[in-house]
Structure 1
Amino acid sequence: MEMQPVIPFEPVLAAQLPSGSQWIAQIKWDGVRMLSYYDGNHVELINRRGNRRTLQYPELTVPRSYCRANSFILDGEVIALSGGKPSFHEVMRRDSLKSETAIRAVRPQVPVLYMVFDMLYCNGVWLLDQPLSRRQQMLSEMLLPHLHVQNVPSYADPAELFSAALNGRLEGIVCKDINSTYAPSGKDKRWQKRKIISDVTAVAGGVTFRDGIVNALLFGLYDDAGKLHYIGHAGAGRMTAMDWRNLTAQAHNLTIPVMPFASLPQRSKGAVWIKPSLVFKLHFLEWNSSGTLRQPVIQAQVDLPPEDCRIGQRG
């Protein structure tokens, strides 16, 4: 395609909700950030890291069915539901697939929704310098009713939406300045996220076994000097028996003789060290004063480089 992939604008983590009439709030979806590109001839779905995901989501490959624009770039999040709520584990069942045969088999089991919240390009014109209010107006005018595509609603009262998200046990909310322009690869306080469920992307540096199968992983984050610091171990989560068997095979191939962590982890008894290459998304309650996670829960294995797992995520 002629359009070059855009690195999406990101919100910063906020401890308090912003106040003022210029702020709107939207639900923070526990899914996969996705930009949809259509140049009038071809459509591509590209994730936050610039990797193509068009194959994984065939529901979104007929652009004329969900947007009346002759060309566009939409920004949003692909989600899948479990128990009526967004589930990162479920959407990764689709996002991690590489073959059309597997995608066809899983598609009826894991339907997806594309939750669109911004429009960056429309009918040959870039909208990046337009205020968010104008971009949202364009989005509302251009999106068509579709089974798998929804326009993310905005709310004028961030505190009220945060309370609703809290009651619904959702991931959190994102507050946006309606006057904000869109800065590709940017990250600043014009967009702020307030989390209810904390998460972190961490790399495994060790495993423990039970009856020959991996039953827990030891996780770490890198500092600016490239040292891997232990942040906790986890065996609970959304992993299936098949996931654990696959992980066991991976671990056997990654075994190393030297501990990869900067210091000996608290839970090192019986641990087998592995090359830090397997990356996972974890949910947790809070950071302990020791720098470890309280009650980490594995959500899914993700296709990200280990070097992205940095201490700066603690925000």
Structure 2
Amino acid sequence: MRPMLATPGDPRTGPPRGPAWAHEIKWDGIRLLADVGDGRLRLLTRGGRDIAPAFPELAGLGAVADDLLLDGEAVTMVGGRPSFGRVVERVHTASAAAAAHLARTAPATYVAFDLLRLDGMPLTSLPWSARRAALEDLLREVPRTQVSPVFDDGAQLLAATAEQGLEGVVSKRRSSAYAEGVRSSDWLKFPHRDTMSVVVGGWRPQTGTASRLGAVHVGLPGTDEEGMPLRDDAGRFRLTYVGRVGSGLAGRAGEALAAVLAEVPRAAYPFTADIPRPEAAGSTWLEPRVVIDVASLGITPGEGRLRQPSYQGVRGDLTPLDLLELS
């Protein structure tokens, strides 16, 4: 099953008003479906990968019911605020010992916001208000789990989340069904920062070094006239170039990304158009597999380049194909 997705709201008008809408905090975490069945818990990323072994502190979800499907986010708090960088590290944790250590030192909380199945009964056709009421009754005193709070005044919540440095707000129509895999206008998102996910197509070394990461070349999956993803003869995605990202790669962040990219096979130039020779000089081209988040001041008109982009973290929960749905 693929999760329902929110449509970007109009920042000029802000969250919708009135009793037909409810509003939740937009947590800066990893979207996960918690699927309980056949005596085990699976925590599924948007790409369908089960990463439950990386989050042993969330095992209590498996005891809630014999058959259950929740939608929510794994969130890790640092200094009282959600840290996407800290929680996304967990996605790549393969060792049980390492996962247990992180569960003790930087535990995640599963913030649930929807109930999709219970005891074999699909609930997606019910209105959000009914699913929400059942969710609140179900998740009481489950370790490392909480239900995302709901607010009636979206504008007030948007202002409060901005003041507290949170990611933003999601507004949901109370009467809406759960539209699996659909980006629906029944859910509207209002983020505070202009962050987007892009695909790494190559990297270039830091000036004066041969191997230290200096910047990455990034793009978005291109599409043909029918909206299908462009691929080369080997089946690899062809990317529309959106720029080079170097800010945010100093220190441990750059070292961690370099380690991820070292596992990606080298490939032919992956972008649909040539980039200036000085930008391409010394670059290593990669198969377009790794998705990262970048913050920027938007995209320049005409050129289509990110303005002052800054690296935020690896999106281990997304694939390049997911970005076609995000656009």
User: Fold-level match, TM-score > 0.5?
Assistant: yes
The residue number in structure 2 matching 1:18 is 16
Distance in 1 (CA, whole Å) between partners of 2:219 and 2:154 is 34
For 2:315, give the aligned amino acid: V
Q: Which one of the candidate residues 118, 138, 141 is aligned to 1:142?
A: 138
Decide whether aligned partners of structure 1 residues 223 and 157 sit closer, same or farther in structure 2, where only a CA change above 3 A counts.
Answer: same
User: Contact between 1:22 and 1:178, CA under 8 Å: does it hold in 2?
Assistant: yes
Q: What displacement does 1:307 show?
A: 4.2
Decide whether aligned partners of structure 1 residues 145 and 217 sit closer, same or farther in structure 2, where only a CA change above 3 A counts.
Answer: same
In the superposition, the TM-score normalised over structure 2's length comes to: 0.84
Q: Which one of the candidate residues 237, 244, 248 is aligned to 1:237?
A: 248
For 1:42, give the aligned amino acid: R
Q: What displacement does 1:51 show?
A: 1.1
Q: Deviations over 1:142-164 (max 9, x none)?
A: 11224410110110011111111
User: Contact between 1:205 and 1:261, CA under 8 Å: does it hold in 2?
Assistant: no
The residue number in structure 1 matching 2:126 is 130
Q: Is residue 267 of structure 2 the alignment partner of residue 268 of structure 1? A: no
Q: Which moved more, 1:218-227 or 1:260-269?
A: 260-269
Structure 1 segment 48-87 matched on structure 2, within 5 A: 48-63=46-61, 67=64, 69-87=65-83
Q: Deviations over 1:198-236 (max 9, x none)?
A: 222212223221223112112111221324222122222
Which structure 1 residue ranges, 5 or more long, are not aligned? 1-5
Structure 1 segment 2-13 matched on structure 2, within 5 A: 6-13=1-8
Q: Deviations over 1:59-82 (max 9, x none)?
A: 1223366x3x44321110001122
Distance in 2 (CA, whole Å) between partners of 1:292 and 1:173 is 27
- SS in structure 2 opposite 1:200? strand
Distance in 2 (CA, whole Å) between partners of 1:115 and 1:238 is 29
The residue number in structure 2 matching 1:121 is 117
The structure with the greater share of residues assigned to strand is 1
Q: What displacement does 1:19 show?
A: 2.7
Structure 1 segment 84-103 matched on structure 2, within 5 A: 84-103=80-99
- SS in structure 1 opposite 2:75? strand
User: Contact between 1:238 and 1:300, CA under 8 Å: does it hold in 2?
Assistant: no
Distance in 2 (CA, whole Å) between partners of 1:41 and 1:35 is 16
For 2:320, give the aligned amino acid: P
Q: Which one of the candidate residues 249, 255, 258 is aligned to 1:247?
A: 258
The residue number in structure 2 matching 1:297 is 310
- SS in structure 2 opposite 1:79? strand
Decide whether aligned partners of structure 1 residues 174 and 186 sit closer, same or farther in structure 2, where only a CA change above 3 A counts.
Answer: same
Distance in 1 (CA, whole Å) between partners of 2:140 and 2:185 is 31
Cα RMSD for the two superposed structures: 2.6
Distance in 2 (CA, whole Å) between partners of 1:252 and 1:186 is 32
Which structure 2 residue ranges, 5 or more long, are not aligned? 225-229, 231-237
For 2:18, give the aligned amino acid: G
Q: Deviations over 1:246-267 (max 9, x none)?
A: 6168459745564735131596
Q: Deviations over 1:22-80 (max 9, x none)?
A: 00110111111111122373222212221111111111223366x3x443211100011
Q: What displacement does 1:240 show?
A: 4.4
- SS in structure 2 opposite 1:293? coil
Q: Which one of the candidate residues 28, 44, 47 is aligned to 1:46?
A: 44
User: Contact between 1:79 and 1:115, CA under 8 Å: does it hold in 2?
Assistant: yes
User: Contact between 2:60 and 2:143, CA under 8 Å: does it hold in 1?
Assistant: no
Q: Percent identity?
A: 28
The residue number in structure 2 matching 1:287 is 299
Distance in 1 (CA, whole Å) between partners of 2:261 and 2:24 is 39
Distance in 2 (CA, whole Å) between partners of 1:188 and 1:72 is 23
Structure 1 segment 156-167 matched on structure 2, within 5 A: 156-167=152-163
User: Contact between 1:44 and 1:61, CA under 8 Å: does it hold in 2?
Assistant: no
Q: Deviations over 1:94-114 (max 9, x none)?
A: 111122122123322321010
User: Contact between 2:36 and 2:62, CA under 8 Å: does it hold in 1?
Assistant: no
Decide whether aligned partners of structure 1 residues 305 and 19 sit closer, same or farther in structure 2, where only a CA change above 3 A counts.
Answer: same
